[in-house]
Structure 1
Amino acid sequence: MKIGNREFDLDRASHKCYIMGILNVTPDSFYDGGKWDDLDSARRHVESMIEEGADIIDVGGESTRPGHEQISTEEEIKRVVPVIEMIKKEYDIPVSIDSYKAEVVEAALKAGADLVNDVWGFRYEKFYKDNSVIRIAEITAKYGVPCCLMHNRPDTDYTNYMEDVINDLKDSIDIALKAGVSKDKIILDPGIGFAKNLEQNLILTNRLEDLLTLGYPVLLATSNKSMIGLSLDLPKDERVEGTLVTTVMGIMKGASFVRVHNIKENKRAIEMTRAILNEQKSI
């Protein structure tokens, strides 16, 4: 898969796993709100993430933590566009836009973003605006960029949990394909922490390989989330080790990407896991 000017090898036999580094230019994100919401601090953080091994920088302008306050499209564009323009001008690394709003996504793609990372899996307009034409999917197709479609829904009214998750993702895929997004430009995200309780998050992480039956690469985004905090009874700034466990399990179950805050630690965990898994093939 080509993202920006870089080719990503998604052959699961090699156990390669790429790092999407998180850059929240928000005052209220659950883990790092307010740390990187001006250009100078964002620039320093991008430099640090690249040095530590990030493969993609994911720029988000609105917090999606539970109970977050939705901001205007204009405010979100004002937050993300200058940062995307700065990264594309100063660094040679693919950039993704973390948004579910069509107008924000189009502004970000015009600014140079290379991937659309949608926490609603192209379904926000369907659920909340009753749109039959999904503009964010059409915009993604128009610009010819890849997308990451995350599992999410307005409720937790599951009948058969894993089957429902798979069917929801199939709906997202169908929306993307009908809009003209190429099959080889779709990544799936199980949506850990979204419309799921602790038990459901743990089940889905443990059964990540079920998503691979859909035929698309998978991105796992568990970094410092409540699943880890609740399991270990730890605050948000003490969840690195728990995150590393999920990264290792993700690789073993076939994930091609992880979206994380702590780049260096996760990079080392990925390399160690790959060393062990790839050595098994030589025996």
Structure 2
Amino acid sequence: MPDQEQATGPQAPRPDGRGLVAGVQRSAEPGVRRRDEPGVLRLGRRSFGPGEFAVMAIVNRTPDSFFDRGATFATEAAYDAIDRAVADGADLVDIGGVKAGYGEPVSEEEELRRTVDFVAGIRERHPDLVISVDTYRSAVARRVGAAGANLINDTWAGSDPEMPAAAAEAGAGLVCSHVGGLTPRTDPHRMAYADVVADVIRTTTGLAERAVAEGVSRDAIVIDPTHDFGKNTLQSLELTRRLDELTATGWPVLVAVSNKDFIGETLDLPPGHRGAGTLAALSVSAWLGARVFRVHDVPAARQALDLIAVLRGAALPAGTRRSLA
């Protein structure tokens, strides 16, 4: 592993604000990679090479989130959550102004009110932080891009045909998702695929190539199998165990499994009690090559992913004195 420094002695885990806990050694510092280096994901001022795991903290500006029930709907509470996520080692934050599933209708104007000024405020507070916005509306993508967003998380798989152009105009990256043809904010019902993994690969890579054609930078595109969206529990489990087939496409893969229903149904647990299952799914996904991880619990995810990075040989331990001193 070239360019790695010798790990130092044991120390308490302290997030370094760029990925791994303080003391864990990586192969290169962010932001100094060659422009032509293959496999590098570039978002805003950050770059993530192969083997580096990026943690995306979820901060919902909604009063009816399935997980936190509006805990970060208020502006100051949301800013506090951003500050904590950064301190805990998040590389990205993902801001959502509309609940993904069923709920009260949210107009475009209201979504803009919840997101645009907030994104501008985050950019002022954290100039180097990668800001993602979860939206399916191209008009919102344009406005949040102008306010400082670096990534558009289009969870509903291009339901708005103007989305790639909007991301390109904003100079932002794009998450290309799979929902099996569902329209926004609808739940799956008896979804059937000849091969769910093949369908996900065909859809997400097709959207990614279209985004490139529309002007989005190839190294700022991520594909997302979009667990539970347009899928039942068995299909989401199949995607997880075969995630290496997605990573083999060469596109960086994002996984958003945190506290999802497929984990809850598998373990018969409600939201709020799915943390261990979430970490298991994240760890398997990381081992199989996923690159970006959208999570509620940043410290737990950061520690789990840092260990996976060491196990995969992409980093050195923080300390190796046991039986050696």
Answer yes or no: same fold by TM over 0.5.
yes
CA distance in 1, matches of 2:294, 2:315: 26
- Stretches of structure 2 lacking an aligned partner (at least 5 in a row): 1-40, 183-190, 317-325
1:280 positional shift: 11
Regions of 4+ moved over 4 Å: none
SS of the residue 1:46 aligns to:
helix
AA of the residue aligned to 2:44: G
**What do residues 216-256 of structure 1 show as CA deviations (whole Å, max 9, x unaligned)?**
01011100110111111111011111110011111100011
TM-score by length of 2: 0.78
TM-score by length of 1: 0.90
1:47 positional shift: 0.9
Whether 1:243 aligns to 2:278 is yes
Aligned length: 267
Whether 1:258 aligns to 2:285 is no
- Cα pair distance change 1:280/1:80, threshold 3 Å: closer
**What do residues 14-64 of structure 1 show as CA deviations (whole Å, max 9, x unaligned)?**
x32110000100011110131111111011111111111100011010010
Match of 1:88 in 2: 123
Q: For the pair shown, which has the larger CA radius of gyration, 1 or 2?
A: 2
CA distance in 1, matches of 2:177, 2:314: 32
Match of 1:212 in 2: 247
**What do residues 82-106 of structure 1 show as CA deviations (whole Å, max 9, x unaligned)?**
2111111112311011101011111
Match of 1:64 in 2: 100
AA of the residue aligned to 1:6: R
SS of the residue 2:56 aligns to:
strand
Match of 2:34 in 1: none
SS of the residue 1:81 aligns to:
helix
* 2:205–2:223 Cα contact (<8 Å) kept: no
Match of 1:103 in 2: 139
Which stretch shifts more, 137-146 or 98-107? 137-146
Of 135, 138, 148, which aligns to 1:112?
148
Question: Superposition pairs for residues 88-237 of structure 1, below 5 Å?
Answer: 88-92=123-127, 93-121=129-157, 123-125=158-160, 134-155=161-182, 156-237=191-272
Residue identity over aligned pairs, in percent, reads: 33
Match of 2:54 in 1: 18
AA of the residue aligned to 1:144: G
1:279 positional shift: 8.3
* 1:229–1:235 Cα contact (<8 Å) kept: yes
AA of the residue aligned to 2:45: N
CA distance in 2, matches of 1:253, 1:143: 32
* 2:228–2:262 Cα contact (<8 Å) kept: yes
Higher helix share: 1
Question: Higher relative CO (CA 8 A, sep ≥ 6), structure 1 or 2?
Answer: 2
